[in-house]
Structure 1
Amino acid sequence: MQPFAPPQIPANELRPGRHWYAIAAAIAVVLVVLGVLIGVYRFTNVIDTVDTDHQFANGDTVSLRLDSESEKMIWIKDRGPSAAQECSITGPGDPGLGDAGIDVFLTRDETWNPLYAIDVPRAGDYEVTCSSQGPSQYAIGDSGGIVGFVGWLILAVALPVLGIGICAVIVLVTAVRRSGHRKRLLAERHGSGGGHPVHPGPVPADGEHRPALRRS
């Protein structure tokens, strides 16, 4: 006697559709790639934050071409900002120097801290001069050193983790719901006894046919 094969439900009849697996994978890939791109982009920027190749000392004047949306800053080498350090800026409009906040930029043998944030009203050529009570070296750079990079790095790591987490949840929920849908369809189409085949009973010797018996 051949064992009875359970009825099969075509995969394309189950809900939710299998396309949710593709959606889950796409979300994971997009967020992982986005996180990697952000990390690489911010790392590339942070290593070039301060223009250490063009340093200037106390009393030196440097000329800058800036626009109104510039986020340039004055950085000082190997010394934390203090009241003993002063810088000035001249140029078109009413340029000014503001609070630079707390940050740090590191090279192989140098430590740089932001001294002033440069604020200019419009595009033009500006001149910066700095001085302090002791020998100091300055350089112009962008905002966002190591401290700013750490914030972006957290985001760059969080995005792939979020993407993988969302993917796992969607795959799990989809698989559980498809399994439940398969069971419901089997119950609806075949009933509780649908898994038992019907066999004809023996034919009596006198040739009379009797009703078939259902195997229990």
Structure 2
Amino acid sequence: MSSVVSIVLGMVIAVHQFKSVIDAVDTGNRFAEGKTVTLRLDPDDEKAIWLEDRIGPSRPTCEISGPGDPALTSPGIDVFLTRDETWNPLYTIEVSQAGDYRITCDSERPSEFAIGDLGGLVALGGRLVLAVLLPLFGVGAGIAVVLITAFRRRGHHKRLLAERYGSGAM
């Protein structure tokens, strides 16, 4: 029974992770270099600025202003793919208090930016480890229960035979 539960739980986790990565970047609300966007953020929000990856060198920079001491930090390596676009995280947005924050990005060439959640395909791979390990653990536990039960029954059967026919039947 635990095997079935762990397999179903692993599948639910995998589906949830796939759904979260599908909507990671809000490509419907893009903004170009030089434009300012205003976001309502809380300290618990895990948001990032994503850059549409186009051919050619670019060194985009972004600035954030708002209450407290907001910061833009390195997001690490990741990627978000749509049917015909590739997006890479540019900055992670960190805020210490709830409020409205203004973000402006500049680039050496025409670029498009979007706000989204942290985690694209690379993060998905890491989060899917649990979705794969959980069913494997369940199947392993199920196999262990079957083997232990089989060995114990075999030993019990031998003891019963020994009692019935004497100790020579073992």
Contact 2:59 2:107 in 1 (8 A): yes
CA–CA separation in structure 1 for the residues paired with 2:103 and 2:26: 15
**Matched residue type, 2:32:** A
Structure 1 counterpart of 2:109: 134
Structure 2 counterpart of 1:98: 73
Contact 1:79 1:113 in 2 (8 A): no
Structure 1 counterpart of 2:30: 55
TM-fit CA distance, 1:158 = 2.1
Match of 1:41 among 16, 21, 27: 16
Taking structure 1 as the reference length, the TM-score comes to 0.73
TM-superposition CA deviations, 1:53-91 (whole Å, max 9, x none): 0000011111101001111000000149x8721101111
CA–CA separation in structure 2 for the residues paired with 1:27 and 1:86: 51
Change (3 A) 1:193 1:172: closer
Structure 2 counterpart of 1:150: 125
Taking structure 2 as the reference length, the TM-score comes to 0.92
**Matched residue type, 1:183:** K
Contact 1:31 1:160 in 2 (8 A): yes
Change (3 A) 1:188 1:124: same
Identical pairs, percent: 58
Change (3 A) 1:89 1:118: same
CA–CA separation in structure 2 for the residues paired with 1:107 and 1:186: 68
Structure 2 counterpart of 1:108: 83
SS in 1 for 2:68: coil
Structure 1: gaps (5+ residues)? 1-25, 195-216
Structure 2 counterpart of 1:173: 148
Contact 2:48 2:89 in 1 (8 A): yes
Structure 2: gaps (5+ residues)? none
CA–CA separation in structure 2 for the residues paired with 1:130 and 1:97: 11
TM-fit CA distance, 1:169 = 1.7
Larger Rg: 1
4+ residue runs over 6 A deviation: none
**Matched residue type, 1:131:** D
